[in-house]
Amino acid sequence: MSHFESNVEQLSLRAPELATLVREAVPIPFELGTARSGAVSARAAGVYLHSRYDPRGEAHKAVKDALAQGADMLVCLGMGLGYQVREALDTGTVVLAIEADASWLRSCLEALPLESILADPRLALLFCADGNGILSALHELNPRAIAVMENPALVHSFPLQVADFRAAISRYQEKDRINANTLKRFGKLWVRNIAQNAGLLGNFGGISKLEGIFAGKPAIVLAAGPSLDDILPQLPELQKKFVLVCVDTSLRSVTRAGVKPDFVVVVDPQYWNARHLDRCSMDSSIIISEAAVWPSVFRLEARAAFLCSSIYPLGSYLEEKSGIVMGRLGAGGSVATTAWDFARVLGCSPIYMAGLDLSFPGGKTHARASLFEQRSLAIGNRLAPASLAGFEAMRGGHPYLCDANDGTRVVSDKRLSLYAWWFTRTTVRYQNTKTVNLSRSGLKIDGMPYAEAAALLESASIRDDLDLILCGICRAQAKTEESLPMGGVITRLCKELASIEKLAVSTIKIAGRAKKLSGPALSKSLEQLDESDAQVSGSAARDVVGFLFPELGELLGERAKTLEESLQKTVDVYERIRSSASWHREILENSGRV
């Protein structure tokens, strides 16, 4: 059996459709040859796929350098003859190999036996001609940080496709950059909120109890974009015909229209987000929230409250160790994404999105009655009018023109486009949940067709059925004692954090002394440092301590050139570990739950 037949047989086990494409493709002429090291190399269109001197050795060095800044995934634009892929897999790293052309991939599979890497579950092989699918693949693989390597011959032969690949990867990395900046700004706030709310976690049901209860019932998700104002006059009538899921930022607008939504989704931990609920009646609404929100949210007089699983390590730890099962909701960076996913969990279909503009139609940022708009009006003056706030909001997010649902052009920005990408990717994943956008002048979102809100008025009334189900939900909600006293869980965590503190102090001393040692004494100290790493990695509080850390590349900086530099980096890292463990422990102890 030839290399190609053996390789494609293995490929068919992982990706049968791709294997069929490769079998039917006409190979691109490769010039195979032997490098000076004796390994096989190749050229395509006069450009080498790999080193002509030592493909294996240089692949080893290149992969090591690419992963040195803490990446846990290698993205290869072109697998080539598999040298870089094999090196990365040997280190335990997940690899996403992206190919632009079936004929090119066939030629690669004809050159060398690659069955072992094609069979490795850590390799994800993606075939796409224009960048579509890369964002979805990266989201599914969910790397902490990625490194990218480009095959020079592929770049030369398919420059347009590679440009699309780079753009898609950059878009994914932009999300990570935004998340990292958000963490720097608000990370400690989230931890403080969870510590304050910890004792309440056992008092509320999880959204897992609500899964599928409105199966097949239509829903309207009420976001806070400017176009929400257009649907408000029709909302009292629409309430009879749809489950209403309202985001916190739109609640003021909705209640002023005389409507009390069925659910209000509140997941943003910031203080000003809690202020969106001020003086809003929620006695007929059910709050959907999570452990990190501003503590005042849980003091509101609502019909009931259910929690989703926390996306933050401290919340996850408390949920896991107490035995409470909440249920996860998608987090695309906007409360509207979480509200949509909650409607999906309820089983609602179709889901209509109102006020989901993801743009600035008419230069507006939010619905008129929202806190953002009202606050701008309240503080505006002759020299700094209310319109200035909207202008600064548009200017601050790297604005650009894009297509709107009505065929015109509208201003959006990079941050809002990330939310649009989340909806595009997620609606493809849940194709059975039909989603329709009611915003005429909002950003056109792939996979979310536009419809006129007036057409919804023809729907049948189902409010009696909805109210019956809602009453059952509220009766069944268990406001019982915690399944495990939360104070005991927090006490256990504080002990774990104190243990990490003590370990970090000891490790810092070992690394400091090791700078002056040599021979067997140095070897013993290095073994002790390895043991410290293993203990931290194995700690149940590891993710809690590491939550506020910067990316590893930022933390470590350039690769150490000497042993002394390496030991100093160890000291720096363990000082961060000690500081984080101490800070978390003090916050928890001062929360009054221990």
Residue listed under structure tokens 């094999």: 86
Note the pLDDT of residue 198. Answer: 87
**If DSSP codes are grouped into helix, strand and coil, which group holds residue 510?**
helix
Residue 147's contacts (CB-CB under 8 Å, 6 or more residues apart) are: 66, 67, 69, 71, 73, 74, 75
pLDDT for residue 32 is more than 70 = yes
pLDDT at residue 377, as a whole number: 38
Surface-to-core class of residue 487, CB atoms within 10 Å of its CB (0-12 exposed, 13-18 middle, 19+ buried): middle
The pLDDT, as a whole number, for residue 178 is: 61
Count of positions (residues) in the chain: 594
pLDDT of residue 214: 97
pLDDT of residue 370: 55
Place of tokens 């690669």: 108
CB 289 within 8 A of CB 203: no
Report the C-alpha gap between 345 and 224 in whole angstroms: 21
Give residue 51's pLDDT band: very low, low, confident or very high (50, 70, 90).
confident
Rg (CA), the chain: 28
Position 388 scores a pLDDT of: 41
The 10s digit of each residue's pLDDT in 136-178 is 788 778 787 889 999 998 888 889 888 888 888 887 877 666 6
Q: How confident is the model at residue 293 (pLDDT cuts 50, 70, 90)?
A: very high
Which H helix or E strand runs over 37? none
Distance between CA atoms of residues 91 and 86, nearest Å: 9
In the predicted model, is pLDDT for residue 550 greater than 70?
no
Model confidence at 92, pLDDT cuts 50, 70, 90, reads confident
Q: What is the 3-state secondary structure (H, E, C) of 271-288?
A: HHHHHHHCCCCCCCCEEE
Mean pLDDT calculated for residue range 38-58: 88
Overall average pLDDT of the 536-551 stretch: 83
Token duo for residue 581: 């463990």
Looking at residue 184, its pLDDT comes to: 63
Average pLDDT over residues 574-588: 92
pLDDT of residue 386: 42
- Could you tell me the CA-to-CA distances from 146 to 75, 139, 518 in Å, in that order? 7, 12, 36
Burial track 395-420 (b if 16+ CB lie within 10 A, e otherwise):
eebebeebebbeeeebbbbebbbbbb
| pTM of the model as a whole | 0.74
**Gap between the Cα atoms of 521 and 530, Å rounded:** 14
Give the whole-angstrom CA distance, residue 406 versus residue 403: 8
Q: State the CB neighbour count (10 A cutoff) for residue 506.
A: 14
Answer yes or no: is pLDDT of 375 > 60: no
DSSP string, 398-414: -EEEEEBTTSSEEEEEH
Task: Give the least confident one: 103-117, 299-313, 360-374.
Answer: 360-374
C-alpha span between 318 and 320 (Å, rounded)? 6
pLDDT band at 308 (very low <50, low <70, confident <90, very high): very high
Q: What is the pLDDT of residue 266?
A: 95
Which region among 175-184, 421-430, 446-455 has the lowest average model confidence (pLDDT)? 175-184
Residue 451 and residue 437 in contact, taking contact as beta carbons nearer than 8 Å: yes
What pLDDT, in 10s, does the model give residues 198-248?
Answer: 877 778 889 999 999 999 999 999 999 999 999 999 999 999 999 999 999
Residue 125 backbone phi and psi in degrees, to 5: -105, 120
Name the average pLDDT for the chain. 85
H or E stretch at 456 = none
**Which residues neighbour 392 within 8 Å (Cβ) at sequence distance 6 or greater?**
none
What integer is the mean pLDDT of 525-547?
89
What integer pLDDT is reported at residue 387 of this predicted model?
Answer: 45
Quick check: 30 pLDDT over 90?
Answer: no
Amino acid 480: pLDDT: 47
Percent of the chain with pLDDT over 90: 39
Residue written as tokens 């700004």?
185
3-state class (DSSP) for residue 100: coil
470 or 172, greater pLDDT? 470
Q: Which residue has the higher pLDDT, 140 or 184?
A: 140
DSSP 10-23: HHHHH-HHHHHHHH
Q: Tell me, what's the pLDDT at 461?
A: 95
pLDDT band at 484 (very low <50, low <70, confident <90, very high): very low
For 389-442, how does the pLDDT look when each residue is reduced to its tens digit (9 = 90+)?
Answer: 444 444 555 688 889 999 999 988 877 887 888 898 788 888 899 999 999 999
Closest alpha carbon to 359 in 388, 334, 341: 334
DSSP state of 483: S
384 contacts 471 by C-beta, under 8 angstroms: no
User: Terminal CA-to-CA distance of the chain, rounded, Å?
Assistant: 67
pLDDT at 479 over 60: no
